[in-house]
Structure formats: structure tokens, C-alpha cells
Amino acid sequence: MARLSVNVNKVATIRNARGGNNPNLKQVALDCERFGAQGITVHPRPDERHIRYQDVLDLSQSVTTEFNIEGYPDDRFMEILRKVRPHQATLVPDAPDVITSNAGWDTIKHQQFLSRIISEIKSLGIRTSIFLDPNTELISSAVATGTDRIELYTEGYAVLYPKNKEAAIEPYLKTAELAHQNGLGINAGHDLSLENLQYFNQKMPFLDEVSIGHALVCDSLYYGLENTIQMYLRQLQ
């Protein structure tokens, strides 16, 4: 069964809109774990528009399931990893001003850079994952970086799913199969939802973990957080 990691960025966005500490991000993360989530994901950005540097430190002292920190591996991000030592670091090629992650790494072009960064992260005892588009041509260079896993960027799947779910899943299947054959673990994330998650999970036999935030937080407005997490977990069974 693939594991569910809840991305709590949107919870921090709501808190920051009014200042103060409501909703309490730390308590929400602990409740997500209590309700069945097997991990907590954060993606701190330089402008701290949602997750703040202090949030990462606070959560690292509280999260008892897997703690996954996403981000572009600049000096500040690497400093956070050295200080926090999360279970997993997911590297994304985001520009500082991007609203949300919108592309995976070109592992051919950036292989040398990623290899150097991943070597340092793994020396800290942290599992590494790199955000990747569903493209089999990128797998050999991804393997060469030394990463432990890839995280498949699933926006393309989510967009095409309502029109043609078989076509939507095809490139992900091919990429995941090749990655698995080459010893890589498979994560996935971005725009996965109650609508499309079950089919994705059923078709992806090597799926280790999904990271879901935006859709899960939106659904919790209607269903409640505890019930929503249980609904997502059922899609992964």
C-alpha cells in the first residue's frame, strides 16, 4: 500500500492570511498523523508565504511519522536539511517566485549539479527524491545522480484523466516501470485528488508514496479533516 504524506502548506497559507496562529499548523500536522497519515510534507519557499523557517524547526520536533521537506536546493534549503535531518528531501526545480511546482528536473542537463547535491544530502543520512516529469529518457540520468527515489509530477495526469484516463496514466506507467527496473523508488504528487487517486494507485504497482496537500485541504472543508484523510487512505488500499 502506498503511503500518504499530507502537505500542510495550505494550512500555513490560511494561518498567514490573518496572522496569529489559527489554524495551529503544528496541531494540524499532529492531527493528520493521528487520523492516519503516514507522513507530513512541507515546502518552504524563500518568501515564507506559507511554510516558515520556524515552522520547519517546530514540526521537526513534533512529527513522529515520515517528515519530508521539499524545495529547491539552494544554500538556505541545504542549511535547513543540515539542521533538521528529515527522513526525506524532495528536490524540485522551482524558481523563487513560482506559485507552485510546475515542472520536473531536466536530469540530463542538471545531472552534475544534482549528483553533487544528492551526495551531500545522503551523507546526512537523508533519503533523496527528485521531482521528475513522466519521461523515460530522463531515467538513466536520474539514476546517475545517485537519488533514492523520483517523485512523478502528476499535473499532466490530473488534467487528462477526465477525458482519457488510459492515455493519462500511460507515460507514468512506462516511466515508473523503467525507474523500478533501475532500482529507484517511486513517489508521486501534484493535483492528485479523490477523483483520480484510486485509478492512479491501482495502475502503479511500484508506488511507494503520494504527497497531497491542496486537494486534501479543500476536501476537508466539506468532509472534515479526519474523514478526508480516511477517504484518501481508502483510495490507496
DSSP 152: E
- Active-site hit among 33, 70, 151, 209: 70
Give the largest CA-CA distance in the chain: 48
Can you tell me the distance from the alpha carbon of 13 to that of 11, in angstroms, rounded to the nearest whole number? 5
Q: Which amino acid is at 47?
A: D
For the record, the C-alpha cell of 58 comes out as: 517546530
Can you tell me the distance from the alpha carbon of 219 to that of 184, in angstroms, rounded to the nearest whole number? 31
Q: Indicate the SS3 state at residue 3.
A: strand
- Active-site hit among 33, 50, 151, 190: 190
Can you tell me the distance from the alpha carbon of 153 to that of 102, in angstroms, rounded to the nearest whole number? 8
Task: Determine whether 70 is an active site residue.
Answer: yes
- Report the candidate in 152, 181, 167 with the shortest Cα–Cα distance to residue 2: 152
> How far from 85 is each of 74, 121, 169, CA to CA, in Å?
16, 9, 34
Can you tell me the distance from the alpha carbon of 228 to that of 60, in angstroms, rounded to the nearest whole number? 24
User: Rg of the Cα trace of the chain?
Assistant: 17
DSSP 217: H
- Active-site hit among 33, 43, 50, 151: 43
In sign, the C-alpha dihedral spanning 15, 16, 21, 27 is positive
Task: Determine whether 50 is an active site residue.
Answer: no
For the annotated catalytic residues, the residue numbers are 43, 70, 190
